[in-house]
Structure 1
Amino acid sequence: MPPADRPPHRPARAAPGRSAQGCPIALTALVVAGAIALASFVKGSIAFGFPVVATPLLALVLDVKTAVAISLVPNIVMDGVQVCRRGGVLASVRRLLALLVFGLLGMVLGTRLLVVLPPHVALAVLGVFLLAFVGSSAAGLAPRVPPRWERWLSAPVGFLAGILGGVTNVPGTPLVLYFHALGMDKHEFVRAVSLSFLVYKLVQLGATAWYGLLTGPLLLGGVALTVIGLGAFALGLKVQDYLAERTFNRLVLAFLAVLGLWLLARALQ
């Protein structure tokens, strides 16, 4: 069925006083608010991790499509804040332009591969690679990309990230690894990660609206959750500013290790 003729996604009809997942409305609201607040704090602290934290928690009380759609607006707003927070946006755009353009092309291909490739294969490969990267870094063997290679690597890395994003919905993981391997300082890392995520999420926002997943009520719900999340996000930013460079890098690696284990767990389900 052509996309234009495809009926919009409609959540399952819930019983009175309960969500579509059968949970009491009050409990659903509490879990949703708590999930967004926790994910916002994590994102403020280390610049990424919002979908990884928010989506599984939201899926406890919402269907996955609704969980993804309702969390887009808070994620986009916070990425926008982090991109603009310390200036240097145009320099980052010029530096990452090839990576972002090829990343979007890769996402188109990855979405197509999603139809024929079992997602658990890509999840398992990504999880193993992530744990290997963290293990080598912890052993003092952290891979580094020489600055002169960045010009040639940005396009293929962006393309690979886009493909993985289309198949697994986690395009940020290879980008975080790449930026870490480039040896970016804390502020460069935060700006590069946030700019990349902002571009991907804006495209995802348009796609979810086009396919009827992001309805008017969900958009308004996302705006309301943004207000809730910004307080926790601001607290996370204070933690980020307080952290020394070395401590920040250790926290990033620790979160990547947890993410790698989570990806493997998803692959084995």
Structure 2
Amino acid sequence: MRKTVVIDCFPESVKTYRNSHVIVAVDVIRATTTVVTGVARGRRCFPVPTIEAADLLAAQLTNPLLVGELDGLKPSRFEMNNSPAELESRTDIHRPMILLSTSGTRLICGAREAQAMYVACLRNYSSQAAHLVAHYSTVALIGAGTKGEFREEDQLCCAWIAERLLRAGFEPQDTRTAAIIERWSGVPADAIIDGASAQYLRRSDQCKDLEFILTHIDDLDEVYRFEGDQVRKHVEKPMDQHRRPFQSEDKLTA
């Protein structure tokens, strides 16, 4: 069976792939890093696409933590910005997180009807790649995008995942995917520091998030799946007679 991987960008592109591909959402700065950081610590996480959706969900949860940004600014009534560094330092893990972002959570929620939907970032890219290799044959890695741009950090993360798929026998679905993989092959993570997203974090005095991202590279051996309006740590189901057990690959260096 031919196995393929495609790299694309923006929430609007989800409709192209949701009926035919497993989708992996990537928004390194910062939504998927925030999601992964929260769930890894044991916090329940509910991405939402709009303020209205956040308000509706908040009314149904007990003492929720509203986290997010729209165009970089924390909405009124929200307790904290879309900051993985701040979230990591909080001790109120019992509070469910409602997360809203300009494009990242729109991407996640837009893929709700996909055959399978995962959330990944630089913290777990090797584990995400190994899981895809073990279970799927058509993969779409989609960057959230910001202001019409496919940001460097999302290209890098998507390319690093895709490169591992190629090593396992996958093929690029198109020439653009092949070009993105080639561009970021062997490039260090700190290559993103001059990108537009990193520049914004510096201008807005949010360097702690950039530092957090660059000091937490591939430090989680977990996979995170979006299902039932919530991002959950994926746990392999007990194997039945028709299923082969998942064999985790050793991590490959970037």
**TM-score normalised over the length of structure 2:** 0.28
Question: Is the helix fraction higher in 1 or 2?
Answer: 1
Task: Decide which structure has the larger Cα Rg and report it.
Answer: 1
